[in-house]
A and B are shown apart, each in its own frame.
Chain A
Amino acid sequence: TQLLEQSPQFLSIQEGENLTVYCNSSSVFSSLQWYRQEPGEGPVLLVTVVTGGEVKKLKRLTFQFGDARKDSSLHITAAQPGDTGLYLCAGGSNQFYFGTGTSLTVIP
């Protein structure tokens, strides 16, 4: 099993603040995905990072893949209540493993 540890596990912030979520592993991944999940629904893919050191932006979300392809981060600028949800990193080849998850609450 390839373990992906996310931090923090829970995060509650005020609207307009910035935040960063981390995804770390001792294993090397060919790619990592970030998902957002709302209660009672399946995960929705946000982005896939493939190249070490890669940075991808999706509106107010910035994703970075570590140079060694063992870690990744998600930075949200000026968080909004609509960003509330469970954020999951994931990776793997034949099997697909999810990180431990970060539950984000953005308070209006």
Chain B
Amino acid sequence: GAVVSQHPSRVICKSGTSVKIECRSLDFQATTMFWYRQFPKKSLMLMATSNEGSKATYEQGVEKDKFLINHASLTLSTLTVTSAHPEDSSFYICSATDVAGTSGSTDTQYFGPGTRLTVL
């Protein structure tokens, strides 16, 4: 099956620093990737939709200058949390869709294992 990886799985940083999270599709080409944020025991909140080779589409209320998304290749999207603050601490999850169907399904979203960000 299609696999999506995230790196790092866990990161702790000081307030004011920037943190980059990588999302990779390991065995299929992901023309579209999604970034979510999740608080404990709460649902996933869609932050932005990332399309390869174009600018990301951000959901209402998500600061695009704060959460920089780059989708430069068909297998990699990155989320950079700039000038992180304690309120940015959260669980960040990415997902990818295989629009080309190389994994066998064009509609299924494949989720990464998530990245736990803690800002001190």
Tell whether, in the assembled complex, residue B108 and residue A99 are in contact, meaning their CB atoms are under 8 Å apart: no
Tell whether, in the assembled complex, residue A99 and residue B43 are in contact, meaning their CB atoms are under 8 Å apart: yes
Mask: chain A, 44-84; 1 = CB below 8 Å from B; 0 = not: 11001000000000000000000000000000000000000
Tell whether, in the assembled complex, residue A95 and residue B108 are in contact, meaning their CB atoms are under 8 Å apart: no
Known: A86-B41, A88-B43, A99-B43. A42 touches B113 (CB 8 A): yes
For residue B61, give the distance in angstroms from its CB to the closest CB of chain A.
Answer: 10
Tell whether, in the assembled complex, residue B49 and residue A98 are in contact, meaning their CB atoms are under 8 Å apart: no
Q: Which residues of B contact A94 (CB under 8 A)?
A: 49
Interface residues of B in 61-87 (CB under 8 A from A): none
Q: Residue B27 at the A interface, CB < 8 A?
A: no
Tell whether, in the assembled complex, residue B108 and residue A43 are in contact, meaning their CB atoms are under 8 Å apart: no
**A90 vs B34: C-alpha distance in the bound complex, in angstroms?**
13
How many residue pairs between the two chains, A and B, have CB atoms under 8 Å in the bound complex?
51
Q: Which residues of B contact A41 (CB under 8 A)?
A: 113-114
Tally of contact residues, B, Cβ under 8 A: 23
Tell whether, in the assembled complex, residue B46 and residue A97 are in contact, meaning their CB atoms are under 8 Å apart: yes
For residue A3, give the distance in angstroms from its CB to the closest CB of chain B.
Answer: 11
Mask: chain B, 20-52; 1 = CB below 8 Å from A; 0 = not: 000000000000001010000111111001000
Q: Which residues of B contact A1 (CB under 8 A)?
A: 59-60
**A90 vs B116: C-alpha distance in the bound complex, in angstroms?**
22
**A98 vs B114: C-alpha distance in the bound complex, in angstroms?**
16
Mask: chain B, 73-109; 1 = CB below 8 Å from A; 0 = not: 0000000000000000001010100000000000111
Known: A48-B107, A96-B95, A96-B109. A42 touches B46 (CB 8 A): no
Interface residues of A in 1-56 (CB under 8 A from B): 1, 6, 31, 33, 40-45, 48
- Give me the interface of B with A, judged by CB distance under 8 Å: 4, 34, 36, 41-46, 49, 59-60, 91, 93, 95, 107-109, 111-114, 116
Smallest CB-CB A-B distances: 3 pairs: A42-B111, A101-B43, A98-B44
